[in-house]
């Protein structure tokens, strides 16, 4: 009888118990990298569960995974919150980003196709529209999509994983300069330079554009940190 039941169910697929938790985890992770949360912002299990319309259990598991990745830290009242950075940590991350993202764009350059260039140009347009409309959310989301689209073209998964771990630390800080018109104009100039370099398969120029983008953002963020000191958790 059991064998017959199994035979009749052969067309079914196993339902993963952690599917919901994975979806919540990915959504939160992408939101952190895209700068939707601010440094020091608390993310309580109950608040997140209410926001996404689920029970607290999958949210608790997702938040725990982000804590393991250092994307969240234990703050006041034992609530997980977005980490704060010091100027020293910011400079260290800058150096690591230049090395890793520079390598990624250099390795991606030979893999970039016309469809990729079209998408990158479209994302640049989205960022520019966000700047004109004063829509920081639109700009920040397109900014992460722009960079990740390039880096994911690099062969292998380890490099992208390392880059994402740094963006988890930096993403919340991008919002601090997302309303600075001078910063955004410099960023868009670098983005356009990167696209032009990739269009002609110039990996050296593309790497130079990525470094310029990171260095400019770091300098602007460092100025903000000095004027608005943020205590470590």
Q: What integer is the mean pLDDT of 121-138? A: 96
Give domain status of residue 194, yes or no.
yes
Q: Are residues 168 and 186 in the same domain?
A: yes
Give domain status of residue 53, yes or no.
yes
Last residue of a domain, one of 57, 81, 105: 81
Give domain status of residue 233, yes or no.
no
pLDDT, tens digit (0-9, with 9 covering 90-100), for 58-103: 999 999 999 999 999 998 788 999 999 998 999 999 999 999 999 9
Residue 98, pLDDT score: 97
User: Do the Cβ atoms of 213 and 201 come closer than 8 Å?
Assistant: no
Residue 8, pLDDT score: 44
Q: How far apart are CA 225 and CA 219, in angstroms?
A: 10
Q: What integer is the mean pLDDT of 150-172? A: 94
Residue 228, pLDDT score: 63
* Residue 21 domain boundaries: 2-81
Give domain status of residue 52, yes or no.
yes
pLDDT of residue 230 exceeding 70, the answer is no
Q: Are residues 193 and 93 in the same domain?
A: yes
Give domain status of residue 184, yes or no.
yes
DSSP string, 110-148: GG--HHHHHHHHHHHHHHHHHHHHT-HHHHHHHHHHHHH
Half-sphere exposure of 38 (CA within 13 A, CB side): 7
Helix, strand, coil shares of the chain, percent, nearest 5, are 75, 0, 25
Give domain status of residue 168, yes or no.
yes
Q: Are residues 93 and 40 in the same domain?
A: no
Point out the least confidently predicted range of 7-11, 124-128, 153-157: 7-11
Check which CATH number belongs to the domain holding 14 and give it. Answer: 1.10.10.10
37 contact partners, CB below 8 Å, separation of at least 6: 31, 43, 82, 171, 172
Half-sphere exposure of 143 (CA within 13 A, CB side): 33
CB atoms within 10 A of CB 46: 11
CB atoms within 10 A of CB 24: 22
Q: Are residues 103 and 42 in the same domain?
A: no
Band of residue 48 on the pLDDT scale cut at 50, 70, 90: very high
User: Do the Cβ atoms of 187 and 216 come closer than 8 Å?
Assistant: yes
Q: What integer is the mean pLDDT of 43-60? A: 91
Give domain status of residue 144, yes or no.
yes
As a whole number of Å, the end-to-end CA separation of the chain is: 60
**Burial of 204: CB neighbours in 10 Å, binned 0-12, 13-18, 19+:** exposed
State both tokens at 152: 């994911």
Please give the tally of structural domains in the chain.
Answer: 2
**Mean pLDDT, all residues of the chain:** 89
């Amino acid at each position: 009888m059991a064998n017959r039941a199994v035979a009749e169910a052969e067309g079914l697929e196993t339902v993963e118990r952690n599917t919901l938790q994975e979806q919540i985890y990915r959504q939160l992770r992408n939101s952190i990298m895209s700068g939707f949360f601010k440094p020091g912002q608390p993310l309580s299990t109950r608040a997140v569960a209410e926001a996404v319309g689920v029970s607290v259990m999958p949210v608790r598991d997702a938040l725990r995974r982000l804590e393991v990745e250092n994307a969240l830290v234990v703050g006041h009242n034992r609530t997980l919150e977005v980490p704060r950075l010091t100027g020293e940590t910011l400079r260290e991350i800058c150096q690591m980003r230049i090395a890793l993202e520079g390598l990624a764009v250099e390795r991606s350059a030979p893999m970039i196709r016309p469809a990729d260039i079209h998408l990158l140009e479209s994302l640049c347009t989205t960022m520019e529209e966000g700047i004109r409309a004063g829509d920081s959310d639109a700009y920040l989301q397109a900014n992460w999509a722009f960079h990740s689209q390039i880096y994911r073209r690099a062969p292998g998964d380890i490099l992208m994983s390392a880059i994402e771990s740094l963006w988890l630390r930096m993403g919340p800080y991008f919002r601090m300069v997302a309303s600075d018109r001078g910063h955004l104009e410099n960023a868009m100039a670098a983005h356009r330079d990167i696209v032009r370099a990739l269009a002609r398969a110039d990996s050296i120029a593309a790497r130079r554009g990525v470094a310029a983008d990171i260095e400019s953002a770091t300098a602007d963020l460092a100025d903000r940190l000095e004027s608005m000191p943020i205590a470590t958790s």
